[in-house]
Structure 1
Amino acid sequence: MNETPDVTIENQQMRLVVTSDGIARSLVYKPTGTECLIQGKSVPFSTITEPRPYQNEVKLAYPNRRTTFKSNAVRMEGDKLVIGYELIPWEATVSVKIADDYIAFTLEAFTLTEDYGIVMTEPPISEMWFLRLPVRELGHWGDWLNVIWDDEVAVNVLAAGPCANADSEEGEGYRILQAGSDEQVKLTGVTAALITCAKDELLDKIDTVERDYGLPHGVASRRHDLYTASYYWASTVTPASVDEHIKYARMGGFRLMNIYYPAFLDSRGYRLIGNYDVYRREYPNGKADLKAMLTKIKEAGITPGCHFLHSHIGRDSKYVTPAPDHRLNLLKIFTLAEPLSEADTTIHVEQNPIHSTMAGNRRVLKIGTELISYEGYTTTPPYTFHGCVRGIDSTTVNAQPVGYMFGLLDVSEFGATSVYLDQYSGLQDEVADGIADLWDAGFEFIYFDGSEGVNPPFWHHVANAQYRVFSKLKPEPILAEGAAKTHFSWHMLTGGNAFDVFPPEKLKEETLRHPFREAPRMRDNFTRLNFGWLGYWLPSEETIGTQPDQLEFVTSKAAAWDCPVSIQADPAKLAQHPRSSDNFEVFKRWEEVRARKWLSDEQKQMLRDEEQEFILLLDERNDLELVPYDRIMEIAGGSTGVIAFTFERKDALYAVYWHISADAQLELPLKPQDFVVLESMGVEIEAAAGKQGDTAIVPVGKRRYLKSTGPNKDKLTTAFGGARVLDL
């Protein structure tokens, strides 16, 4: 009979019980007595995974394949958990720190309890979970933060550093929240915190963990006044054009301006990424000119941010030509089976090149001082790469001897004009220094684009690459977003991602398909996303262009979830669009909503109706007013030049209408006395009588309103359908 007692670990918030035979038995939220773990399941508290069994007798008796061993013994020695496992002679030592707001577990060491009989002292472990809790379903699952919660209680297993892996496994009626380590990253010295608390206290508890362990301040960023602020995104701003950008940013009520790196660094698409010290010619004084421009933006009441692809290296940058840096990432390693001369166009290798990429412009080998493209390869001996072009990207052709090892270059799948750096090297830190020097000019928030472009394991390197940059930015960014996220990113990325632009005709549909679907999931992670990026299209024969109702739709659905939007803006294009004033008025009103926290919970719920569109008006007293409105589907016999919606307010029927690209007239089959034309609420203009009987002519260009004084909705809709668009 096993007389080892069960292990109980508790603070004021929770009581955790682990049985002496290694099973997670109970996790009670003490203020309410709520049991948080599923009962009747024998879920091991810890597991160890080896690539194959290494202990000799186990290796002989069991298949030599990736094998997971379950905990079967747990005891407490002082402030340390000692965990034993089935079949293998290893014990894990996990220190336990009991704090008021959390309990922290740190994997300290592995101890060999029985000699292997072979020359091996290191633990042959590929993956280890030192904390596994089968938390029952509570209604909400935050997959990024690794939290399960309902209105009463939240259970969170939180990595307290970038090298701890916090993840989960789904079960029937429960989910195993777990924390562990990975031999590709760091096996020991990793920490995770267990938080069990009232749902409304979770962010306070996480904030304590962040401060205790010196983590980025993810909670503080989510409590910043600009947390829900949308941003004006600029790739063309320079000291000469900054006033125009400020004008449009203020026109849209934007409190943030995100500046893409090509605005100040010499760029050819992605091809020069990595040259962080080469400014555009518009900045003759380099950093001093950048700093002066950012100061001007701040003086206008706008907070500037920056946008980089931190894990990319451009194929024309100093890290590639004339000789590629040894710290660029390689996807496969090959060995020369024959010497390579400077003239050879066929490369003989020992390994089978099968599954090497055949994508255009990504077929690149890095051999010594040169990059070599290939046309194809053989997958039966003798193995070769053939049709090779030597010294591409202005690299230096070289000869190498038999036995020389080289690799398949990790060329970015996004355009193939940049490559990914090796996250196991120091190059990411060198890049971080370059970005940090630019940051010092006065940026205050950052977008980590291209974050997915890292080595596996992705759970670590996506966040850690961001962290290697983020930790060098002083002062710490007030906000951050990124193109990819993993668990530890939560402490840096204030609200996850933006989306790439969607064309006008698909914008509403794609908004519902993507950001609108993601928003509740992000809410489950106690955070938000960005409903941008929004593109800006001029009306043409191919497209209706960017129109006020599109922007109203996206930004209203975003506000329903306390999310911002972002607009990719260029003053040259904005100045050409006839409806830019109306478009940016939409932004301005909704940014006022965000800044004032104007929406009630009831209004937010109303806005989440995906079938209903809404308009934010300024009423007769210039106060905000939110009303639903419905599109008139056919206008002027099928004309695509005019857009109109009907809505009701203050017991009256209205229409809002405009022309997508021109100033014209609209002849309606209504009498002038049937309606009132409004430039804005309370500001009337007269309608003219039409040349035909019982018709009226109204101006159609910018957004205006009609207030019906007689016709009902059906009649007003029919009137728009039978209208005629007249040139001025």
Structure 2
Amino acid sequence: MDAAFENRYLRLVVGGDGRSLHFVDRATGRDYCRPGTSFASIVKGGASFAASKAVRDGDSLRLVFGESGVEATLRIESKGDYLTMEVMSVAGEGVDAFNTIDVPLTLKGSLDEPFGACALALDLKSNIHAWPGLCSRLQATSVKRFGFVGAKVAIIGCPPDKMREILKETVNAADEMPHSALGGPWAEDAPEVQGSYLFNFDGITETNADAWIKVARSLGFTQIDFHGGGSFRFGDCRPNPGLYPDGFASMKAAIDKLHAAGIRAGLHTYAFMIAKDCPWVTPVPDPRLACDKVLTLSEPISESATTILVDESTADMSMDTGFFVRNSVTLRIDDELIIYTGLSKKSPYSFTGCTRGAYGTKASAHAKGAKAHHLLECFGLFVPDGDSTLFDEVVQRTADAFNQCGFDNIYLDALDAEDVPGGAENGWHYGSKFAWELCKKLDKPALMEMSTFHHHLWCVRSRMGAWDHPNRSYKRFIDNHCAANDVNKRFFMPSEMGWWAIKAWGGAQVEPTLPDVMEYLCCKCLANDTGYALMLITPEVYQSSPFAQRLAEISRRYEDLRLSKNVPESIKAKLRQPGKEFTLDGDLASGWRFRPIRYDKHKAEAASGASAVWKVTNEFGKQPVRLRIEALLSARQYDAGGNATLAEFSDPAQFAVHHAPPGVKAEMSSAVAPGDVSGSPLRSDPETRMRWRNPPRTPQKRDTNLSCRTVADSGWSSQTRI
């Protein structure tokens, strides 16, 4: 017999054979289930077993999984606007994973559909790959490592315009899930989320706070981010004593000045990562530091020994390290840390070139049989064991910094290293565990972002889109970012336009941030109701750079107008068009209007010929010509003296390294085949001849970019809006 579960909007039906049968909009009777998939399944001994039988008994659904010998019971309850599904029991040995629900839908998960669906994990035992919001398939999984019994999810089916309110109701009712008035289903209601912010890397004190406030106001920004490393230590969040002699109290005094100026302060940590000068590392390393391998000393070592022999194989260990590499060359033996520079992957297994007493620990003798723990590391920082009390202590220290200093925002950078404590397959759990436990310890809701995103982080996240800044093709990058941010609307998540930097000359691969780029960025921010962040601007840089001041004024005018909410949707819709450019005349105080603007570009490659002539059609009213001339870099002429020879192609032995897929063999040999071409240009115009045989030139700046700026003589203003 089929088992049906209903609430106000939804009717969910599981077949007696264990298959997903119906997902029905009760208002219309339309079924959105894509039939043929088992409602649940288990993984045992590497094999998958689908549910073969489903029997309802009140709110319970008993599932049988074929020949596996495993049965499970779910409790499915109606909560009015949504269903909850909780694992009550799993009977049978050897279950590695339990896929508690799988309902494929004919829905695409878009806001313009008549019905929407969402599966929401209510604890850290249930993993769901789809982000909360509108989706096209309902799935949830629990694994043995974190336990099956008690794993709980909510199932929502409703019109899309009801989804966010039902998600609020669901999160509020969840016992284990944190909720934030600035995150998840509430994020779109919070005006703070739309503020733009300025990065600070070296610390803001009572002494320099006024200077930072001035810079923020000059940009129209309402938030400043305190990036760790300079102002405070990663891990225990200890304020830099050189800047904050009274610790948290000194930092709070600086933040109080920001608050008095109407500016929010952000705590920018590296999540649970631990700096190597923390008390958890030195002078006595904490045994709760995470490791991925424990080895046994084959013989005793003295306090000065530089070679360490171990019983276990080191064949799977690596010497590769780097900022993003999940690996270290550090061992913990008793109360000593040791850095090695080599290892033997063949018996006798050993670590060589050892530096004893690393990171301020004490070099000591160690007995045969002592354990050598290979520490985990990423971003140049150590990691706590994800299941230890040290993990909880890092959470508490982060909460202490937020609460005692009066911070308003949190950016959990380096949370993308959540895979380090327990492997990539379990990263979702440890990253979410850190964020959830942190939010539960905060005295007030935090405007929260992080460097990764998945299902469980949604309920505490406030905005998306913190991309790193590009180095060129800025306007195309902005359009791509806007398109990516549009996707976040189906998850009810506000966006920002990422981390930007004002760049002057930065070499051949970096384009300068010119005024039209800044205006394009700020215009798209206004059109899409999003803020942005700015790096590398300090009071000293701002004061000494008229260029930065000019761009800041553009930002201020746009930000003031954006945050005022005075620009109607009819105008913002025009400004949102990809590739379309506009200029803002005036500002919020004096009156404003937007006018279409066009920037034509042309590259002059020679003093004469086709590229030396440029014709531009002005599609607007009569106006003076406005030009910007930019000197470009180019390579010297082919036959210029002093050029470096990369390859002469005279000896095949020059190319000794060859790579080819299995079964493919390639050889290189010298060959000269005379042809019937002259090697002379077919065209005789001056520009072509110049390209063939220009004399050597010393200057490297050769090409020139010309930009012609034309502006419409009318537009949309605060007085006349169309």
TM range (shorter): 0.7 to 0.9
Q: What's the TM-score once normalised by structure 1's chain length?
A: 0.77
Q: Describe the shift of the 1:305–1:259 C-alpha distance in structure 2 as closer, same or farther (beyond 3 A).
A: same
Provide the C-alpha distance between the structure 1 equivalents of 2:625 and 2:401, rounded to a whole number of angstroms: 50
Provide the C-alpha distance between the structure 2 equivalents of 1:153 and 1:436, rounded to a whole number of angstroms: 40
1:78 lines up with 2:78 in the alignment: no
Provide the C-alpha distance between the structure 2 equivalents of 1:583 and 1:203, rounded to a whole number of angstroms: 38
Contact 1:512 1:610 in 2 (8 A): yes
Q: Shift in Å at residue 599 of structure 1?
A: 5.0
What residue is the counterpart of 1:12 in the other structure? 8
Q: Aligned ranges for residues 281-430 of structure 1 at < 5 Å?
A: 281-360=242-321, 362-412=328-378, 414=379, 416=380, 418-430=381-393
Q: Describe the shift of the 1:655–1:156 C-alpha distance in structure 2 as closer, same or farther (beyond 3 A).
A: farther
Provide the C-alpha distance between the structure 1 equivalents of 2:194 and 2:588, rounded to a whole number of angstroms: 28
SS state at 2:557 partner: helix
Q: What do the CA deviations read for 1:658-712 (whole angstroms, capped 9, x no partner)?
A: 8999xxxxxxxxxxxxxxxxxxxxxxxxxxxxxxxxxxxxxxxxxx998799xxx
SS state at 1:290 partner: helix
Provide the C-alpha distance between the structure 2 equivalents of 1:329 and 1:357, rounded to a whole number of angstroms: 17
What residue is the counterpart of 1:128 in the other structure? 98
Q: Aligned ranges for residues 33-52 of structure 1 at < 5 Å?
A: 33-39=29-35, 42-50=36-44, 52=45
Contact 1:654 1:705 in 2 (8 A): no
Q: What do the CA deviations read for 1:236-290 (whole angstroms, capped 9, x no partner)?
A: 322111111111111221122222234643xxxxxx4234334433333333332
Q: Aligned ranges for residues 208-219 of structure 1 at < 5 Å?
A: 208-214=169-175, 215-217=178-180, 218-219=184-185
What residue is the counterpart of 1:485 in the other structure? 453
Q: Shift in Å at residue 209 of structure 1?
A: 0.8
SS state at 1:203 partner: helix
- How many residues in Structure 1 have an aligned counterpart in Structure 2? 608
Provide the C-alpha distance between the structure 2 equivalents of 1:424 and 1:28, rounded to a whole number of angstroms: 41
What residue is the counterpart of 2:188 in the other structure? 222
Provide the C-alpha distance between the structure 2 equivalents of 1:94 and 1:224, rounded to a whole number of angstroms: 37
Q: Describe the shift of the 1:636–1:70 C-alpha distance in structure 2 as closer, same or farther (beyond 3 A).
A: closer
Query: What is the one-letter code of the residue matched to 1:182?
Result: V
1:165 lines up with 2:127 in the alignment: yes
SS state at 1:222 partner: helix
What residue is the counterpart of 2:540 in the other structure? 572
Q: Describe the shift of the 1:29–1:335 C-alpha distance in structure 2 as closer, same or farther (beyond 3 A).
A: farther
Provide the C-alpha distance between the structure 1 equivalents of 2:346 and 2:88, rounded to a whole number of angstroms: 47
What residue is the counterpart of 2:117 in the other structure? 155
Contact 1:338 1:401 in 2 (8 A): yes
Q: Shift in Å at residue 581 of structure 1?
A: 2.8
SS state at 1:422 partner: coil
1:633 lines up with 2:601 in the alignment: yes
1:89 lines up with 2:69 in the alignment: yes
Q: Aligned ranges for residues 642-681 of structure 1 at < 5 Å?
A: 653=623
Q: What's the TM-score once normalised by structure 2's chain length?
A: 0.77
What residue is the counterpart of 2:227 in the other structure? 260
Q: Describe the shift of the 1:619–1:180 C-alpha distance in structure 2 as closer, same or farther (beyond 3 A).
A: closer
SS state at 1:166 partner: coil
SS state at 2:157 partner: strand
Provide the C-alpha distance between the structure 1 equivalents of 2:587 and 2:374, rounded to a whole number of angstroms: 63
Q: Shift in Å at residue 351 of structure 1?
A: 2.9
Contact 2:272 2:395 in 1 (8 A): no
Q: Describe the shift of the 1:562–1:621 C-alpha distance in structure 2 as closer, same or farther (beyond 3 A).
A: closer
Provide the C-alpha distance between the structure 2 equivalents of 1:307 and 1:620, rounded to a whole number of angstroms: 32
Provide the C-alpha distance between the structure 1 equivalents of 2:144 and 2:250, rounded to a whole number of angstroms: 46
Query: What is the one-letter code of the residue matched to 1:443?
Result: F
Provide the C-alpha distance between the structure 2 equivalents of 1:706 and 1:12, rounded to a whole number of angstroms: 58
Gap runs ≥5 in structure 1: 53-65, 113-122, 141-148, 266-271, 640-644, 662-703, 710-728
Q: What do the CA deviations read for 1:601-627 (whole angstroms, capped 9, x no partner)?
A: 555554454433333332799333334
Query: What is the one-letter code of the residue matched to 1:67?
Result: A
What residue is the counterpart of 1:107 in the other structure? 87
Q: What do the CA deviations read for 1:705-726 (whole angstroms, capped 9, x no partner)?
A: 98799xxxxxxxxxxxxxxxxx
Of residues 178, 183, 196 in structure 1, which corresponds to 2:157?
196
1:438 lines up with 2:434 in the alignment: no
Provide the C-alpha distance between the structure 2 equivalents of 1:560 and 1:108, rounded to a whole number of angstroms: 49
Provide the C-alpha distance between the structure 2 equivalents of 1:360 and 1:319, rounded to a whole number of angstroms: 22
Gap runs ≥5 in structure 2: 323-327, 608-615, 632-707, 714-722
Query: What is the one-letter code of the residue matched to 1:151?
Result: E
- The answer to which structure, 1 or 2, has the higher relative contact order (CA under 8 A, 6+ apart) is 2
Provide the C-alpha distance between the structure 2 equivalents of 1:707 and 1:432, rounded to a whole number of angstroms: 54
Provide the C-alpha distance between the structure 1 equivalents of 2:626 and 2:206, rounded to a whole number of angstroms: 39
Contact 1:84 1:90 in 2 (8 A): yes
SS state at 2:484 partner: helix
Bigger shift: residues 223-232 or 608-617: 608-617
1:23 lines up with 2:3 in the alignment: no
Provide the C-alpha distance between the structure 2 equivalents of 1:93 and 1:458, rounded to a whole number of angstroms: 27
Q: Describe the shift of the 1:132–1:599 C-alpha distance in structure 2 as closer, same or farther (beyond 3 A).
A: farther
Q: What do the CA deviations read for 1:35-73 (whole angstroms, capped 9, x no partner)?
A: 22113xx211111112x1xxxxxxxxxxxxx11111111
Q: Shift in Å at residue 305 of structure 1?
A: 2.1
Q: What do the CA deviations read for 1:102-145 (whole angstroms, capped 9, x no partner)?
A: 10111122134xxxxxxxxxx422211111111124264xxxxx
Provide the C-alpha distance between the structure 2 equivalents of 1:367 and 1:423, rounded to a whole number of angstroms: 20
